[in-house]
Structure 1
Amino acid sequence: MTQPSILWFRQDLRLHDQPALCAAADAGPVIPVYVLDDDAPGDWRIGGAQRWWLHHSLHALARDLESRGSRLLLRRGPAAKVLAQLAGESGAGAIHAIRHYEPWWRAAEADLGERLCLHDGNHLAPPEAVTTGSGKPFRIYSAFWRALQAHLPPEAPREAPETIPAPDHWPDSDALAEWALLPTGPDWSTGFGEEWQPGEAQAHERLADFVDRVAGYERDRNLPAEEGTSRLSPHLHHGEISPRAVWHAIEGQRDAEKFRKELAWRDFTDGVVMALPRYADENGRDAFDRLPWRKGAAAQRDLRAWQRGRTGYPIVDAGMRQLWTSGWMHNRVRMIAASFLVKHLLIDWREGERWYWDCLVDADYGNNSVNWQWIAGTGIDANMFGRIMAPLGQSEKFDAGDYIRRWVPELADLSDAQIHDPDDAARPQAYPHRIIGHREGRERALAAAKAMRG
C-alpha cells in the first residue's frame, strides 16, 4: 500500500481549487484533517462568531469529502504537535497544506519542517512574489496593485478530484459536537442562520448571484440599504471559495475593476502581516504610541455603548446592532462605526479591533488589523488621523434610512428627513441622546493629535 499523505485544512475549507488536496490525491491515499489550535494563536484564537461559522463549515466539508470516498478527521491542540503525532499513528509521509501568513501559522509551518509540502492557493498571487525592487512586501496598496498586474490574471482554478483515495486504516477523530463551537446559554447566534449558510456549495451560489450584480458594485457597495456587496467575505476568509475562482467567474464582466481591487486588497494585507507580524497589536507609526487615548470608567462606559449600538448616532447604532445580530456589518458602515470609536470617542483602535474579531464571521487577521489601522490613521498606509468621518452626513449621503429602520426599530417610524439625525422632538424616548456632539468629538480628537505631535 502506498504511504498515505496528510491533508491539513485551515482557512481553506473547500475541495474545488484546492491544490494541496490535488497534490495529496495524486500521491496516493489521503488523510484529511482539521486541527483546532487555540494555543498557537494566543490572544488571536478565533472569535465566537467565527466558531459558529467553523462548526457549520466543517460539517459541510465532511459531507463533501464523504461524497468522494473520504472523510474528515478532527483533532485539537497545538497544530504542529498534533500533526506530527498523526503522522506517527498513520505512517503518513508528507503533510500537504495551503500556505498561510498569520504569524502563528508560519511558526507552525516552520516547526513541521521538511515533511510539510506547502502550496499556493488562497491568493491571486503569492504575497512573497509581489514585492518591491528590494524584494520586500509593499507597504502602499496602490504600488502593490500596480506590481500585481504582472501576475494577473491568476491561474485558472483546478477542479476537485472526483474520488479521493482513502487509507487502509482511519485514525481516530474527535466528534464535532465535542468542540462546543456553537454558543449556548444563551445562544446569541440565532440571527446568523437567517443571514448565512456556511459551506463551499453556498459560496458558489453567492458567487453566481453576485456575477449578475458586479457591474453595479462600485456604486451600490456604499449603500447600506441595498444588496450591493458580494457577501463573499466570510466564504473567502474560511477558504470555502478561492480568490482565483472568484476572479475568473467575473472575468469579462463590465465594470468589475473595483471588485478586483477588493480581492487584491486581501493579498496586500497578508503581505503587510508577513512583513509586520505584530501589526494587529502595534501601531504602524511609532508616533501614535504617544497619542493620549481615553481610559478609565467614562471611556469604558462609552465603549460599551458603542458595542451595544447605543451611541445616539443612528447609522453607528444600526451597524453595531447588525454586527451583533448577524455576525457581519456593511463595509461602509464598518468604516463609519470604526471612525466614530477612534475619533469621536478617542478610544484606542485595538479595542474596536478586538470587538470586530470576536463578532465578525469574516474576521481576518490581516484585513482586520490593516483596516483598523487605516481608519485610525496609525498604519503604514492609512487615512490621516485628522480626516474625521461625519456619521450624520455619511448616513444621509449614502441613503441609509431603510438600513436604520431595519436595525434600529425604535426609529422605524421617522421620516427620511428625521431618521439620520432625529431632533429632541422626533427622538423616541427609548432611543438614547448622542453620546457626544460631532463638533465636540472632532475637536477633542484634533487636540489629542496635536498633543501627540508635541
Structure 2
Amino acid sequence: MPNADASPVILWFRRDLRLADNPALNAAAETGRPVIPVFILDEAGDGRPWGAASLWWLDGSLRALAASLKDRGAPLLLKRGHAESELRRLIAETGADTVFMNRLFEPEAWTRDADIAHGLKDDGVECRGFNGSLMAKPGSVLTGSGGPYKVFTPFKNALLAKAEAPPHTTAPRELTPVKGLDSDHIDDWNLKPTKPDWSTRFDWTPGEAAATEALHAFTGDALKTYSIGRDHPAEVGGSRLSPHLHWGEIHPWRVVEAVQKAAADRRAPQAEADKFVAEIAWREFSAHLLHAFPQITERSFRPEYDAFPWRSDTKGFKAWTRGQTGYPIVDAGMRQLWTTGWMHNRVRMIVGSFLVKDLLVDWRKGEAWFWDTLVDADLANNVQNWQWVAGSGADASPFFRIFNPTAQGQRFDADGDYVRRWVPELAALPAKWVHAPWTAPEDVLAKAKVRLGTDYPNPILDHSEARDRALEALKAIARSKYDD
C-alpha cells in the first residue's frame, strides 16, 4: 500500500522517457513511497551537448512523458543545470534518501553517474541503477576469452543466445506525488528552433504512444519487405523506430518480441524478421563497443587509420551539407536529412562514402553533422556507422569499397522517384538521365528546364578520379602499418 507519509524517492529520467517496461520506475513504485519524477537538462553531463534535431525531439518527448505522469498523479519535475547539484538540492528539499535511474552506458555519462552514486552514498543516499535501454548490459556478452567482441556476427549470435528478455511491465496506474516542488517550464528551455524554424517539415511525433504506434505500423506492413525497403529510398524503407529507441520511448526487447511474433503469426516472413533483429543487434554491438573502447569517438578503432591523409576541403564539405554536390542521390539524401531530421538507410551509406572517400574529408566531420541534424542521433551508432563507412571501425566495410553514387542511384532508385522528391530541379528529367544529368543531351535538359551550373550544379568532382585519389591515399595506411 502507498505510504504518503514516508520519505520520498527520486526517479531520475534521462533517455528512458516511457512508463511501460521501465525498470527504474517499477522499482521506485514498488517502494510504496512518494515518487519524485525529475528530468535534469544537463547539456554537458552526458559528455557531448545534444544536437539541434535531438533537442527538438526531446521537447516533444518530455511533453508526452509529463502528460502521462500527470495522469498518474505525479507531475514531472524539470530542472536545468549540473545534474549532481540539482539532485542534491532536491534531496535537501524533500528528504529523499534513494535515487532510482536507468543507467547510461556512453563512457563519460557512465563515469559521471558512478561519481554521483558514490558521492551520494557517502552522504547516506542510495542510488539504484538499471539497464533500461539495451537488450544486454555492456560487459555481459563476452568472447570465450572474456574480452569484448570485435566482430559483429559472433556478437549477434552470442547476444541472442545469452540475453534474456525481462518480463513485460505496464505503466503504474497511480503514483503518490510530492506536492509543492518548483519546476522549470519546458517553454523556457527553448529546445525548438525559431529563427528560422527548420523543423516545420518534420513528420515525427515523439513520445511513448507514438513509439508503440510506429511498432504496430511496422510489424503490420513494412516488415514484410524490410530487406528490400531498407535499400530502396523511394519506399518508407524501415521501421522509423530509431529515434524512439534512442530516447527510450520503447524498450528494444519489446521491439524484438513484436517482430518475432509477427513472423510466428505468419504476418511477415521469418527471414525479414531475422534481418530486422540483426539490425537491433547491430545497435547493441555499437553500444557495447563504445563502452569497451571509449576512445572511438575521437580515434579510429583500427589505429593505423589515424595516419590517413584527410583533406581540408571547406568548399566540398559545404556543398555536401547543402545537397549541392551535383550527384543527385547524394544531394537528395542530404536534403532529406535537413528537411526531415532523418535519412534512408541506403542513402546514409552513399553520402558517407562520398564524403569520406570521394572528398577525403575526415569521417569525424560527417559524424558531427549527423549528430546535429538527425533526430535519431545516437553516439554509439553514429560513431560506429561512420567508422564502418571509413573502414576504420570494428568489422568495418573495407576502405577500398567505394560507392559510385551514380551507379548506386541507378540501382536503388531506378525510376528516380527519390531524387525527384528531394531534388525538384530534376523532376522533369527522364529516369535514364536523372542520376547523371551531366550526361543528358542538351535537348533533354532543355525540355526538362534544367540548366546545369544554374538550376542544378555540375558535379563538384569526377568520381573516377576521386576514386583513384582515395585508393592512393589508402596506401598511407599500409605504409604506416609497415613503419610500426
Residue 217 of structure 1 corresponds to 226
Specify the alignment match of 1:432 in structure 2. 457
CA distance in 2, matches of 1:170, 1:358: 37
State the SS of the aligned residue for 1:74.
strand
1:93 lines up with 2:97 in the alignment = yes
**Displacement of 1:340:** 0.4
Tell whether 2:106 aligns with 1:102: yes
- Alignment partner, residue 268 of structure 1: 285
**For residue 61 of structure 1, what is the amino acid of its counterpart?**
L
Q: 1:208 aligns with which of 216, 227, 232?
A: 216
Q: Does 1:316 align with 2:325?
A: no
1:160-217 Cα shifts (integer Å, max 9, x gaps) = 11111212x342111101111011111111111xx10111111111110001131211
Partner of 1:184: 194
Contact 1:127–1:268 at 8 Å: present in 2 too? no
Q: Is the 8 A contact 1:327 1:359 kept in 2?
A: yes
C-alpha separation in 2, matches of 1:156 and 1:432: 55
Answer yes or no: is 1:150 the counterpart of 2:161. yes
Q: Distance between the aligned counterparts of 2:116 and 2:231, measured in 1? A: 44
Match of 1:418 among 421, 433, 439: 433
The amino acid across from 1:250 in the alignment is V
Q: CA deviation at 1:251?
A: 2.2
Displacement after TM superposition at 1:70 (Å): 1.1
2-structure distance, mates of 1:33, 1:345: 45
Q: 1:109 touches 1:116 (CA, 8 Å); kept in 2?
A: no
- The answer to whether structure 1 residue 79 and structure 2 residue 83 are counterparts is yes
Aligned-residue CA RMSD in angstroms? 1.4
- How far apart in 1 are the matches of 2:252 and 2:71? 24
Runs (4 or more) in structure 1 with deviation over 4 Å come to none
Q: Is residue 237–residue 344 contact of structure 2 (8 Å, CA) maintained in 1?
A: no
1:356 aligned to 2:402?
A: no
Paired AA for residue 450 in structure 1 = K
Matched, 1:116 2:141: no
1:81-114, Cα deviation, whole Å (9 max, x unpaired): 2222222222111111112111222122112224
Q: Give 1:37's aligned amino acid.
A: D
CA deviations over 1:109-139 (Å, ceiling 9, x no partner): 1122242101122112222211122333212
Are residue 302 (structure 1) and residue 306 (structure 2) matched?
no
Mapped to 1, the partners of 2:46 and 2:29 lie a distance apart of 29
Distance in 1, matches of 2:180 and 2:209, equals 26
Q: CA deviation at 1:283?
A: 1.0
Superposition pairs of residues 156-305 of structure 1, within 5 angstroms: 156-167=167-178, 169-192=179-202, 195-213=203-221, 214-252=223-261, 253=263, 254-255=269-270, 256-295=273-312, 299-305=313-319
**2:112 counterpart of 1:135:** no
C-alpha distance in 1 between matches for 2:281 and 2:97 = 35
Q: Percent identity?
A: 49
Amino acid at match of 1:262: E
CA contact (8 A) 1:292 1:448 kept: yes
> In structure 2, what is the Cα distance between the partners aligned to 1:108 and 1:116?
13
Counterpart of 1:60 (choices 44, 60, 64) is 64
User: Residues 357 and 470 of structure 2 are in contact (CA less than 8 Å); yes or no, is this contact kept in structure 1?
Assistant: yes
Q: Counterparts of 2:351 and 2:417 in 1: how far apart (Å)?
A: 17
Structure 1 residue 78 displacement after superposition = 2.0
> Would you say the 8 A contact 1:156–1:244 is kept in 2?
no
Letter in structure 1 aligned against 2:372:
D
Q: What SS is found at the alignment partner of 1:206?
A: helix
Q: Would you say the 8 A contact 1:156–1:245 is kept in 2?
A: no
The SS at the match of 1:278 is: helix
Between the aligned partners of 1:346 and 1:267, the Cα distance in structure 2 is 29
Name the SS of the counterpart of 1:148 in structure 2.
helix
| Higher mean C-alpha deviation, range 353-362 or range 146-155 | 146-155
SS at match of 1:366: helix
Counterpart selection for 1:33 from 15, 30, 38: 38
Shift of 1:48: 0.2
Give the letter for the 2:301 counterpart: G
CA contact (8 A) 1:84 1:112 kept: no
Deviation for aligned residue 1:152: 4.6
Letter in 1 for 2:322: R
Tell me what 2:351 maps to: 337
Tell me the secondary structure at the aligned position of residue 101 of structure 2: strand
Match of 2:468 among 435, 438, 443: 443
Deviation at 1:153, TM superposition (A): 5.2
Q: Which letter does structure 2 place at the counterpart of 1:34?
A: F
Deviation at 1:278, TM superposition (A): 2.6
Provide the rounded CA distance (Å) in 1 between the counterparts of 2:387 and 2:82.
30
Summarize deviations over 1:334-366 as a string: whole Å, max 9, x none.
110001000000000000000000000000000
Distance 1:310 1:349 in 2: 19
CA contact (8 A) 1:357 1:364 kept: yes
Unmatched segments (≥5 aa) in structure 1: none
> Which segment drifts farther, 360-369 or 96-105?
96-105
- C-alpha separation between the residues in 1 aligned to 2:400 and 2:292? 27
Separation (CA, whole Å) in 2 of partners of 1:7 and 1:146: 34
Partner residue of 2:8 out of 1, 4, 20? 4
Q: Max radius of gyration: which structure? A: 2
Output the amino acid matched with 2:378: D
- Asked if the contact 1:345/1:441 (under 8 Å) is kept, the reply is yes
Q: Amino acid of the residue matched to residue 323 of structure 1?
A: L
| Contact 2:237/2:345, CA 8 A, preserved across alignment | no
Matched-pair contact (CA < 8 Å) for 1:349–1:373: yes
Distance 2:162 2:80 in 1: 37
Aligned CA distance change for structure 1 residues 200 and 219 (closer, same or farther; 3 Å)? same
Alignment map for 1:373-392 (pairs within 5 Å): 373-392=387-406
